[in-house]
Structure 1
Amino acid sequence: MPELVFAEPGERNDLGAFVARAVRLDQQAVVRLRAREGGLVDAWVSTPFDVLATRTARADLAPSDLTVSGNELLAALAVVRGDRLDPGHPQDMLWLSALPPTKHWQRVDQLPAKMVSDLADKGIALAKDNVGPTGNPPASLLDQTVLTVTGEGMAVKVPLRCLFALSGMGFLADDEDETIKVTATDSWMRLDARYGAVVRRRHALLPLLV
């Protein structure tokens, strides 16, 4: 039976908040849990904005890589009050997204969280006025670059969809002292806020020739 063991109750509560936001965005969300050295577990979800969101908890996980239903994990987190719980039935086949590398990330710059929050609010208002036939904002709008962050010889273009993911997952804060750290590899970008991070490929994958 899979087992997730938290270092302390606060870690379970924080992961519960993360999973609750993911399920609010997508009722069919699945959560990928991956253990790493130092007694840490990374939780990953794929948001409706084609952006990954992640949060790290101090915990142990067996098996070390497991995908479960967001609803099942959320129910377990809400019901089980001890430090050990069964995160749910393995559903590894439902995880379809590639995960970014764990090494070779380069710090680019830091952004004021309030500025990013204001940009996200403006983008959400614009999206409401440009809803497509499916009821969602068009991809052309989501793919618009709203920020270009430069530093350490890199220029990272941040599309609106990343800000939507930050906002939708509840990661943004209006606190004047809060910042968002921007890191990148050659292929990926990552925006780290206080309550979690969003990650996306910097360049579209080229289609395979057949």
Structure 2
Amino acid sequence: MILPGSGDGGADGGVVIPDPADRDDLRTLLRRLLRLDEATVVRFTDGGAAEPAAAGSAAAESAAAPRLRVWARTPFGALVVRGLGGTCPGGDVVAGADHLLTELDVLPRGDREGRVDPGMPLTSSWQGLLPPVDGFTAVEDIPAQVLLDLAESGRDAARESAGPAGLPPSLLDQEALIVGADTDAPVGVDMRTVFSAVMCGFVPERAGRAPDREPVRVSTRVPWVRLDARFGTVFRRPDALTLDPVR
């Protein structure tokens, strides 16, 4: 693993996110994560180059720019990730979500460099390895509305059954959805994964409704299950031991 600060992703060790739209997307994600857990940390890793765009097009310059992956662990026990344009020190750095949000909020929107101080390295706060990002097999595309409906049903159940220790594991661990049911290897999607995708804002919606025909792709690479929505990806290992209750 590349240690934070060991590379040049900014001479002063800053995370660089030049595009104001990408910075806005990161702000939105950080706010959602902090609503779930005020002690959230995020991990920036080198995401490689984006898919090439047509030469001379407006997207070509953006597509050619270096990419970042922004990872976080939700209190539901899933990993979430979103791609942005930019670079970070050494290609790998862990930072506090609250500190990053403060730094982004004081950065003028018109700033063209987009250098953000990640603060004190929090490498020891990141527990566990990252999942692979390739080698997954697509199982099925499901309507995004299905996830929104499941999350709403889960919230209703949570209001009835949540106690002092938080949401009961029986609710979070239940398989909310089975995809590929007519195959030899059906895949279960639990409520931890559903809540993570919806509450991190990865599914586009307005007043609880997703756009018509909006897909979410379910893929698998044992032991991982992966959900790809428009605004981000959720990874979940159903065999992973989740110790922290959701309060």
TM over 0.5: yes
Task: Give me the CA root mean square deviation.
Answer: 1.7
Determine the C-alpha separation between the residues in 2 that align with 1:152 and 1:9.
44
Give the structure-1-normalised TM-score.
0.90
Residue correspondence of structure 1 range 102-181 to structure 2 within 5 A: 102-134=133-165, 136-150=166-180, 154-172=185-203, 173=205, 174-181=210-217
2:138–2:220 Cα contact (<8 Å) kept: yes
Percent sequence identity is 34
Query: 1:64 — aligned with what?
Result: 91
**Hey, what does 2:129 align to over in structure 1?**
98
The answer (yes or no) to whether the contact 1:34–1:66 under 8 Å persists in 2 is: yes
8 Å CA contact 1:108–1:152 kept in 2: the answer is: no
Could you tell me which runs of 5 or more consecutive residues in structure 1 were left unpaired when the two chains were aligned.
Answer: 206-210
Cα distance in structure 2, aligned partners of 1:10 and 1:152 = 41
Structure-2 separation of matches of 1:175 and 1:63 = 39
Asked if the contact 1:34–1:42 (Cα under 8 Å) also holds between the matched residues in 2, the reply is yes
1:41 corresponds to: 68
1:156 is displaced (CA, Å) by 1.4
Structure 1 runs of 4+ aligned residues shifted over 6 Å read: none
TM-score (norm 2): 0.77
Task: Give 1:12 deviation, angstroms.
Answer: 1.2
1:94-133 superposed Cα distances (whole Å, 9 cap, x missing partner): 0113210122111111110112111110111012111133
Query: How far 1:88 moved relative to its partner?
Result: 2.2
Amino acid at match of 2:173: D
Deviations 1:57-100 (A, max 9, x none): 01111221110011111111111132222222211000113210
* The one of 227, 234, 239 aligned to 1:203: 239
In structure 1, give the amino acid aligned to 2:90. P
- Unpaired segments ≥5 residues, structure 2: 1-11, 50-65, 242-247
Count the aligned residue pairs: 204
Q: 1:35 to 1:152 in 2, by over 3 A?
A: farther
Amino acid at match of 1:74: L
Matched AA of 1:127: A
Contact 1:108 1:154 in 2 (8 A): no
- CA distance in 2 between counterparts of 1:153 and 1:67 reads 40
Looking at secondary structure, tell me which structure has more strand per residue. 1
Amino acid at match of 2:232: G
